[in-house]
Amino acid sequence: MVTVREDTEGKIRDLPIADELKRLLEQAADRAGIAVVRVTSGGQAPKGSGGKRTGSTRHDKGRAADLELLADGKHALDFTDVGDRPRVEAFVTAAAALGANGIGAGFDYMGPRTLHVGFGTSPQDHTRLVWGAGGRSANAPKWLRNAAEKGWA
């Protein structure tokens, strides 16, 4: 059984993730053989609400999460490690197939263990995007782009 653990206390994006996203993460992790999805940055209050926030609107109302994948429940997978990357790729492919349309990763983005997975900038945004350093699509690692496109196909 997969656990989605929200470790966001004390963070700016400390609100819960949306139920729809939690189900997607659980199912993607199950398909990839991941025991725990550790959310390190969750939901944030919408613009104009006076709540804490940072960055884009993707995390608004819990529609995106920054996360680590713990295959054994203890140690985060490292997508720069050739032994870990196949599981990370399997997770990304499954997440994309299940409806995630905003996926980011990159050593120079959030380090080698953290992924961004979620939906568009609003419920109406169904644009499929991957990105890496600087939040730029052009900087998305090739493995990330390939894994997401495989899921979207």
User: b or e along 87-102 (b: 16 or more beta carbons within 10 Å of the residue's beta carbon)?
Assistant: bbbbbbbbbbbbbbbb
pLDDT in the model for residue 87:
97
Which pLDDT score is estimated for 101? 97
Helix (H, G, I), strand (E, B) or coil at 24: helix
The predicted pLDDT at position 48 comes to: 67
CA 151, 4, 142, 58 torsion-angle sign:
positive
How confident is the model over 28-82, as pLDDT tens digits?
999 999 999 999 999 998 876 777 888 888 999 999 999 999 998 889 999 999 9
- Which pLDDT belongs to residue 46? 83
- Per-residue pLDDT band for 125 (boundaries 50, 70, 90) equals very high
Domains and CATH numbers, the chain: 3-152 (3.30.1380)
Is pTM beyond 0.75? Reply is yes
* Confidence at residue 119, expressed as pLDDT on a 0 to 100 scale: 97
The mean of the pLDDT values for the chain is 94
Distance CA 24, CA 100 (A): 8
Angle at 14 between CA 11 and CA 20, to 5 degrees: 145
pLDDT band at 128 (very low <50, low <70, confident <90, very high): very high
Q: How far apart are CA 80 and CA 119, in angstroms?
A: 25
